[in-house]
Amino acid sequence: MPDATVTIGLISDTHIPFRWDDIPEAVFECFAGVDLIIHAGDVGEMWVLDKLSQIAPVVAVHGNDEGEQAKQVLPFQHTLVAAGQRIVVTHGHFPDRNEEMERRKDDNWHPKLARWASFGKRSDAQIVIYGHTHIPMALKYDGVLLINAGAIASGGFPVRQTIQSVARLTLRSKAAPIVEHFDLSGQNKKFTPEVDLDAGFMMARDRYQESVLSADLQAHLNWIIKEVYPLAPEPLLAVFTPLLRKRWTGELQPLTLDELMTAVKSDHLPQVVIEKLRESSTFSQYL
């Protein structure tokens, strides 16, 4: 039997065009010559996969933060076999949002890694490819190789992805898998992600993202998310997104409270939002 070799491009968390405009050109350079591309979720719009398929065939799963079409047509989990090695692809989130939000409070890496490894063990797979964390990683846990390519876009509206990355996975039927991560910010340079499991999840996350809000606005972020945002999500996103787009790319300094409230006053937000903002002494002075 011949020794088959398969090279797979790994990408995740593109969030295009909601948090990033388009696939970076560097991705096409890193994926040149691959046999297959795997997208581990939070694609954005489906044309992102169409564009990647100009390089090689694409397998994808949906994430927790998708456009409606991607949620409907992409699976939660996918299993494939290449070069004799079984691979499970999943975004890695909990389907139930309440459970997802509760589990995010746990800073311990090990329950997270154990859960992702369990996806592989249930399928007798040697490899699990996941996304969701925006943290590049490749490590063996409970006998399963866990691979996260990293992310293209930010992990949330208040932060930006400081290192955009993808990965290449080379499989040979008679050899151990080879994982290579690429930092897209420079010369598509290879790098080895270093994650200190004992230091906790938050520490690792903060290596790959930073706030795009000034200190005065950051101090009120939790109140905005809990008390204001649920009142009118779409109108508020329409205000926030243009202000943040050039902050996600690093072109502008962090967004200030003054800048935000200038935009709020110039927009026609629902009255219920204005009334809630007036309950805060910080925001009422602008209204």
User: What is the pLDDT at residue 215?
Assistant: 95
Domain check: are 24 and 42 in the same one? yes
Domain check: are 88 and 118 in the same one? yes
Q: Do 152 and 208 meet the contact criterion of CB atoms below 8 Å apart?
A: no
User: What is the pLDDT at residue 67?
Assistant: 82
CATH code for the domain of 116: 3.60.21.10
Residue whose C-alpha is closest to residue 68's, from 40, 98, 45, 100: 45
Q: Do 37 and 61 meet the contact criterion of CB atoms below 8 Å apart?
A: no
H or E element in which residue 130 lies: strand 127-130
Domain check: are 142 and 254 in the same one? no
Q: How many domains does the chain have?
A: 2
Full DSSP string of 219-269:
TTHHHIIIIIGGG-HHHHHHHHHHHHHHHHTTSSPPBPHHHHHHHHHHS--
Phi, psi of 190 (to 5 degrees): -70, 145
E-strand spans in 165-235? Answer: 165-172, 178-183, 189-191, 209-211
Q: What is the pTM of this model?
A: 0.94
214-240 residue pLDDT tens: 999 999 999 999 999 999 999 999 999
Q: Which of 210, 241, 268 is the last residue of a domain?
A: 210
User: What is the pLDDT at residue 187?
Assistant: 64
* CA pseudo-torsion sign 244, 247, 252, 255: positive
Q: Which of 165, 192, 210 is the last residue of a domain?
A: 210
Domain check: are 166 and 48 in the same one? yes
Domain check: are 200 and 226 in the same one? no
Domain check: are 191 and 77 in the same one? yes
Q: Which domain holds residue 101?
A: 5-210
Instruction: Please give the DSSP secondary-structure letter assigned to residue 173.
Output: T
Residue whose C-alpha is closest to residue 167's, from 5, 12, 53: 12
Find all residues with CB under 8 Å of 26, minimum gap 6, and list them. Answer: 164, 182, 184, 188
User: What is the pLDDT at residue 43?
Assistant: 97
User: What is the pLDDT at residue 267?
Assistant: 81
Domain check: are 84 and 150 in the same one? yes
Domain check: are 206 and 216 in the same one? no
User: What is the pLDDT at residue 173?
Assistant: 86
**List of the chain residues with pLDDT < 70:** 1-2, 187-188
Domain check: are 190 and 234 in the same one? no
User: What is the pLDDT at residue 188?
Assistant: 64
User: What is the pLDDT at residue 185?
Assistant: 86
170-181 residue pLDDT tens: 999 888 999 999
Domain check: are 193 and 275 in the same one? no
Q: Which of 210, 231, 255 is the last residue of a domain?
A: 210
Domain check: are 257 and 158 in the same one? no
Domain check: are 171 and 99 in the same one? yes
